[in-house]
Amino acid sequence: MSPRYLLRRLLQVVPAVAGIVLLAFVLVHTAPGDPVVALGGDHGDAAYYAFIRAKFGLDRPLPEQLLAYVASVLRGDLGQSFVHGRPVARVVAERLPATLLLMGTALALSSVAGVWLGVLAARRAARAADLALRTAALLAHATPSFWLAQLAAIVLALGTGLFPVQGFTDPRQSWTGWRHALDVLHHLALPALVLAAGELALTTRLTRTGVLEALGTDYARTARAKGLPERAVVRHALRNALLPVVTVIGGRAGMLFTGAVLVETVFAWPGLGQLMLSSILTRDIPVLLGLFVLVSAAVIVANLLTDLAYACLDPRVRYE
């Protein structure tokens, strides 16, 4: 990866972030309702309204307000939550670990299992496996994550009783240390599996296609001809086959966030999804705004990392 590529790619982040912040700003300002009335009540006098306007800088010209907003977002200040009475950044930061734990586990599960299954399917390029994979991928793509979550809750949690239905830990116990970790893991299992299921079929299918394609190339034939064991040939092929997989996984950050939020709702997992749900109910606009900006930033960063990983893995990637 050349420094030139790195710089060019990093610079692309600026307009993306600017666009998101501008969009958020425009939305808030075109929304019906006057924030001054919301803060000062219906029966305040003109002087009081003017005081509020001046206090929050609402009397300044719009471009100036935009600049102030951009500056505070860059400082990590996403405003004050109406309901919690604390900075949005703090409220969100408290919930972020749970969501990241869920997403990370699901992503790890689907990636490891998907690549393994994909290689397996490619080595036995039978029609049955192909058909099964295509069908699975189609179904996985069509199934709403919250529905899969509901079915899993009904069958696996309520039906068999093997898994807890909701929550992060068992409220009847106050374990610490490894018992606590085990308890969290027990609660994590179902939501993570459900979230991973959606991605699994895609990863498997991409890996299988990539490996099959790579096994058909000249270098794979050469490797076989010089007598390398099949395992080693597949390992060579996998390196190249994984490129598209990495790209697709990285490009699905937004979808993964959406899926996580919906799955969290079903399992009452105390992450960003729960925060979003309660903020919707209480019309806590600053929190929703902050979530939108944060998830957008996460998507932008994920895309950046994907591109950089790709450039590292594939020396052919250059900017003309």
Partner 1 sequence: MVLTLALVVVAIFAGAIAPMDPFATVGPPLTPPSRANVLGTDDLGRDLLAGIVHGARTSLTVVLSATALAAVFGVTIGAVAGYRAGTTDDVLMRLTELVQVIPRFFLAVLVVALFGPGLDRLVLVLGLTSWPAIARVVRAETMSLARREFVDAAHALGVPAGRVLMRHILPNALPAAVVVISVNAGTVILMEAGLGFIGLGDPRVISWGYLANNAQRFLRVAWWMALFPGLAIALAVLGMNLLGDALNDLRDPRIRGRARRSPPGSVNSVRTR
Q: Looking at residue 228, what DSSP letter applies?
A: -
Closest contact distance (angstroms) between CB of 253 and partner 1 is 8
Rounded CA gap, 182 and 188, in Å?
Answer: 10
Beta bridge mates, 229: none
Half-sphere exposure of 176 (CA within 13 A, CB side): 0
**127 or 231: whose CB is closer to partner 1?**
127
Rounded CA gap, 198 and 148, in Å?
Answer: 9
**81 or 296: whose CB is closer to partner 1?**
296
Residue bearing tokens 């004050």 = 80
* Cα distances (angstroms) measured from residue 154 to each of 80, 168, 169, 172: 39, 18, 19, 22
Closest contact distance (angstroms) between CB of 47 and partner 1 is 29
Closest contact distance (angstroms) between CB of 119 and partner 1 is 14
Rounded CA gap, 79 and 92, in Å?
Answer: 11
Closest contact distance (angstroms) between CB of 180 and partner 1 is 26
* Cα distances (angstroms) measured from residue 235 to each of 60, 75, 107, 206: 62, 45, 22, 16
**168 or 257: whose CB is closer to partner 1?**
257
**26 or 182: whose CB is closer to partner 1?**
26
**213 or 314: whose CB is closer to partner 1?**
213
What are 185's two structure tokens?
């893991």
Closest contact distance (angstroms) between CB of 126 and partner 1 is 6
Q: Binding residues for partner 1, per CB under 8 A?
A: 12, 15-16, 19-20, 23-24, 27-28, 31-32, 125-127, 130, 138-139, 141-148, 150-151, 153-154, 158, 165, 205-206, 208-209, 212-213, 244, 254, 257-258, 261-262, 265-266, 276-277, 279-281, 283, 285, 288-289, 291-292, 295-296, 299-300, 303
